[in-house]
Structure 1
Amino acid sequence: MTGTGWLGTHLAELSDALAEVEGQSSTVETWGRRLAEQLVAGGRLLAAGNGGSAAEAQHLTAELVGRFVAERRPYSAIALCAETSSLTAIVNDYGADEMFARQVEAHGRAEDVLMLLSTSGRSPNVLRAAERGRELGMQVWALTGPGPNPLADACDDAICVPAASTAAVQAAHLVLVHALCAAVDDHLGRRDIPVQVVVPDERPHVVVVGDTVLDRDVDGRIERLCPDAPAPVLDVTATHDSPGGAGLAALLCAAEGARVTLVTPVARDADGRALVNALRPDVEVVALGHEGPTRRKVRARSDGRSLVRVDDGGPGTPTEVPEVAVRTVLATADAVLVSDYGAGVTRDARLRSLLTEAAGRCPVVWDPHPRGGPPVPGATLVTPNLAEAQQASGAVADESAPDALAQALRADWDARAVAVTAGDRGAFLATTGDEPLFVPAVPARGGDTCGAGDRFAATAAVSLARGSLVSAAVGAAVADASAWVAGGGAEAFRIRRRTPEHDTTDVAADVPPDEDVAALAARLRLGGRTLVATGGCFDIVHAGHVATLQAARRLGDALVVVMNSDDSVRRLKGAGRPVVGAADRARVLGALDCVDAVVVFDEDDPREVLTALRPDVWAKGGDYGGRPLPETDVVRSGGGRVVLLPYLDGRSTSSLIERTGRARTHQPEEVA
């Protein structure tokens, strides 16, 4: 850009600024899509700024209420800086810092977007508006000058214009306003969109209150050692961030079909914004103040195995608590889940008072932590694991039985029920009256227990929100926690959220025919484990089957049984077979310690399922020796090998059925 005098200087600065802004096109596109979705769904845009930024805020809202280029219906947008009567009254009564924030509190809703413009990124009234918007769960964006700056840190997302002068920043902001309007129109299809018919949301509303952390997995390869120390060098291949702590619990409730609001401290830093963005659109967030930077758990991993975990950030203690907003959201809850991760939420007197009120109105599930506060009186269900229960009661390890601990803690905490979870044994539930109830679990061998407590508590909370009895809610929670562990735990859940097209659905013993078999295989191979598969009808499981399965499991690290469906057995064995249905057969096989998963297939042979499973070893009973196996080529083409196993002579399902029939024939009739 050439020129002389002030105009030349301004044009040169603007040219440089626009060159930088061009790299923000993906952010403008994302904002345009999100804003269009919110407007069509009945949301609105609030905008504010000072001076020239106030003019640009009004420019933006005018383009939405009016039109940008093409004809379309008007959308709701309010420029807070143009509300002169409200502004002067607020400044007079509450001070200049509240001039936008109070309007945000009056007009803003969780489904709205707040756009803030500031060339410096430091105006106190704009910063206060950003804080209030995030407290309400709004999506808060900013157009600012050079970063980093306080406003960019206080918002969910921001575009910082690195221009040398205020004039160049404002000129670049105008370009961005026009680009955003164009992106909105593009997503609206440049045509009138009918007003959305709002259907009442019949999903149960679960409010999760707790401490959120950022889980960061740093994956890589180790092929060398440090030259200056006997330490491995991790060559990073990927970094993945996910919500942890109460954030994970909230996502699990949402995955169960609940409408979820998360009340949690959120730090005003890049990681805090990343956490909120990762939770949306599944979870609405009511942000509390957060002491210190975002709490993080960073795992360095190679071949799926953790080498070291580094915890930093925090302490995460709640600072500002918008009591009106929290009380309002708790008043609409069908159930509340308190997910304590020891950062201070459950020790905050303001939140404890609000949770005590909630416990008198709706079910409250309390997942405790040794460093947290005790459950509030009247909690519906408290869910400590065995170690937490022992610590809370002061018992020495193995001194008290889990059922006795549950009874003692229920009285100590003045809770309606306490469920002490005992790993793969299940849970021991104590309520106000009868003897404790033991809910056994299906053991999950070789799984990942990370996040099992969150899975248990989330299922219990959603079940209670839907009106279940406490005993039924605990039964569902035990089953879901077992499936969670078997399905790969928190790691598998994170992979599912990153790549939904490769859903690694939790695997129970009775895996349906449409299970994603390839994902199952990937999960069982985590950490470089060897995958073994064997198959059959298993109509009546007998000692010969058990011997074959035990031998097959010794060939590797995980065993999958591929089992013929009822229709497949009927075609192979004839009328009257199977004697036992597929669901019951799968459950019996899944209960064996040597079996990690069962897959049911409907074809006459397992070639199709083996193509997806790609086992390292395909094991068959020795009675198949000498006969061609149709699946051999499939297994070998996938890099696997076929191994024949010995069998117990004289044991077969057919002979058992035959002998049982003869015994019935010779049995004398019962005399009436």
Structure 2
Amino acid sequence: MTGNEIKEFFLRAKQLKALVVGDLMLDEYLWGKAERISPEAPVAVVDITRQDMRLGGAGNVINNLLSLGCEVRVASVIGDDEDGRTILTRLELRGVEADGVVLSALRKTSRKTRVLASNQQMLRIDRESREEIDLASSQQLLTYVHQQLPQVQVVLLSDYLKGVLTDSLTRELIALCRSAKVPVLVDPKGKDYTKYQGATLLTPNRKEAAEASGVAISSGDDVSRAGWKLLQELSLDALILTRSEEGMSLFMAGRDEIQLPTLAREVFDVSGAGDTVLATIGFGLAGGLGLPDAARLANLAAGVVVGKVGTSTVTPDEILRSIRVDVDRTDAKIRTSNELQQILLEEKNHGRSIVFTNGCFDLLHVGHVKYLQKARALGDRLVLGLNSDASIRRLKGEKRPLIGEEERGHILAALDCIDYVCVFDEDTPLELIDLLRPDILVKGGDYLAAEVVGKEIVESYGGRVELISFVDGKSTTNIIEKILSQYREE
């Protein structure tokens, strides 16, 4: 699919409905710093600075579908406990009906707690039930799914082997979907895939496919043998075998194997990437895409989501931007203030330092370039706040700028030393600095530190101000005067 085709698909893919059945759980993230060793044992001490609670397991599939713009129904069994009620609250806040979620006093709601420091996972703590759900709960889920099938375009089974998708329930669900002619997609687990017989699509990763097929996967030929074996033995319409940094392989009955190379630029965390693949393919099929195009869309989504920390989601805008990065890197660098705020939060979570500077940059010259290169060298990412045309007119008069803000933005974004450009309309970048909270604020050496706008804000949270000298004799004013002088003589 081309970028325009994907954009058109998202524009027409409205009011899609999906049903997710599987193991709902909570993902808890404890973020902190590990700067010392415990005197009690040879282990790191993590000082927790932030915590985050998210829907996990089948809940991450739900979150991905919602991010793509899909309406979601859910069927699951969770514990009648505090964590279970937290899940219900989270579903309600996301606008997801919980009529198909059964509360059981016999179960403990699954909760995974991850402790992270310096962008590394230090420890994971699991609290959960793994016993199969009882017959009464299973029947409640079947009844709910049967009622929902006429209203949804796709069913996704998210199996984490926590007891919800029992062998008998899974087989009955697949049979129900087949009878209703609704595609049923499965993210499988375990070594025995017989309960998934007859599903529309399975999405195992390399390790899972090797265990289920009995084929030791160490080469491309092994991938093909495992994929075709599972497809044929389980009577599937298709199978997507995800291969981490090597991309995906799509197997379809009666068709040639399709290889989809990885599209990730940086990989920080693959947890939850399988959920993104399952959700995006389901969304694509629900919207009328064929399996190859739905798989290509999922490959793009996976390339975005592995660049984030923790189980994450991806939006249509992020997918479209990932395409534009390859086509036009300058477009990808120019962001609104709100977009940039979210991007920089991710950058900081990855341990990167943010440098900020601002200016008009009308008629770019060597003095500008050397200044920006020096600023970039102070940190990991350089953000340029660019004065809008209106703000320049207020500051420098009606004859300026000579180059409009859109052109200036693209010219500056073409520089390798600049990571992001954000146009602001105020006379000063004070509001932008307060929103983005950079680690280092840079201005030209013709300023005194006390005169730098935003100094107090940056220093209030531990940041600092740096002054960089300009190249002597290089200025936009000098260039204008030289042009006027030479052409006036002519």
Q: TM-score range by the shorter chain?
A: 0.5 to 0.7
What pairs with 1:376-387 in structure 2 (closer than 5 Å)?
Answer: 376-387=196-207
Structure 1 residues 478-527: Cα deviation after superposition (integer angstroms, max 9, x where no partner)? 3333333445443799xxxxxxxxxx999863564253433332331126
Distance 1:602 1:372 in 2: 60
Query: C-alpha distance in 1, partners of 2:249/2:386?
Result: 34
Residues 21 and 76 in structure 2, CA contact (< 8 A), matched pair in contact too: yes
Equivalent-residue separation in structure 2 for 1:545 and 1:424 (angstroms) = 39
Give 1:443's aligned residue: 265
What corresponds to 1:522 in structure 2?
A: 345
- Matches of 1:319 and 1:595, distance apart in 2: 58
| Number of residue pairs matched by the alignment | 429
Alignment partner of 1:338 is 2:157:
yes
What residue number does 2:438 align with? 615
CA distance change for structure 1 residues 560 and 479 in 2, over 3 Å: closer, same or farther?
farther
Contact 1:293–1:316 under 8 Å retained in 2: no
Structure 2 spans left out of the alignment, 5+ residues: 1-13, 323-331, 393-398, 472-490
Contact preservation (8 Å) 1:406, 1:420: no
Kept in 1, the 8 Å contact 2:428–2:453? The answer is: no
| 1:87-486 correspondence to structure 2 within 5 Å | 203-218=15-30, 228-231=40-43, 240-281=52-93, 282-285=95-98, 286-287=100-101, 292-301=107-116, 306-320=121-135, 321-322=138-139, 323-359=142-178, 361-370=181-190, 373=193, 376-400=196-220, 404=224, 408=228, 411-412=231-232, 413-423=234-244, 426-431=247-252, 432-438=254-260, 440-444=262-266, 447-486=268-307
Which letter maps to 1:381? L
CA distance in 2, matches of 1:628, 1:235: 37
Residue 482 of structure 2 is matched in structure 1 by none
Quote the Cα distance in structure 1 between the aligned partners of 2:292 and 2:427.
42
Paired with 2:470 and 2:213, the residues of 1 have a C-alpha distance of 52
Counterparts of 1:234 and 1:489, CA distance in 2 = 18
SS of the residue 1:249 aligns to: helix
| TM-superposed deviation, 1:424 | 5.3
Counterpart-to-counterpart distance in 2, 1:276 and 1:417: 33
Unaligned segments of structure 1, at least 5 residues? 1-201, 494-503, 648-672
Alignment partners' CA distance in 2, 1:472 and 1:236: 43
Q: Is the 8 A contact 1:295 1:316 kept in 2?
A: no
**Larger radius of gyration, structure 1 or 2?**
1
Aligned residue number for residue 6 of structure 2? none
Residue identity over aligned pairs, in percent, reads 31
- Counterparts of 1:470 and 1:492, CA distance in 2: 21
* Contact 1:424/1:443, CA 8 A, preserved across alignment: no
Q: Secondary structure at the residue paired with 1:310?
A: strand
Equivalent position SS for 1:490 = coil
User: Could you tell me which amino acid in structure 2 is paired with residue 427 of structure 1?
Assistant: M
Query: Per the alignment, in what secondary structure is the counterpart of residue 461 of structure 1?
Result: helix
Please state how far the C-alpha of 1:207 moved relative to its aligned partner.
0.7
Name the structure 1 match of 2:8. none
Q: Give the 5 Å matches for 1:512-591.
A: 512-526=335-349, 528-533=351-356, 555-558=378-381, 560=383, 574=402
TM-score, normalised to structure 1's length? 0.51
Greater RCO (Cα-Cα under 8 Å, separation 6 or more) = 2
Q: Pick closer, same or farther for the CA change 1:633–1:549 going to 2, 3 Å.
A: closer
CA contact under 8 A between 1:211 and 1:245: conserved in structure 2?
A: yes
Listed as ranges, the matches of 1:608-647 within 5 Å are 609-617=432-440, 633-634=453-454, 638-639=458-459, 640-642=464-466
SS in 1 for 2:379: coil
The answer to whether the Cα contact below 8 Å between 2:334 and 2:409 also exists between their aligned partners in 1 is: no
TM superposition score normalised by structure 2: 0.67
Displacement of 1:261: 1.7
**Does the 8 A contact of 1:265 with 1:317 survive in 2?**
no
Deviation at residue 530 of structure 1 after TM alignment = 1.9
Alignment root-mean-square deviation, CA: 5.1
**Per-residue CA shift, 1:56-77, capped at 9, x if unaligned?**
xxxxxxxxxxxxxxxxxxxxxx
CA drift of 1:336 comes to 0.8
Query: For the residues of structure 1 that align with 2:161 and 2:275, how far apart are their CA atoms?
Result: 14
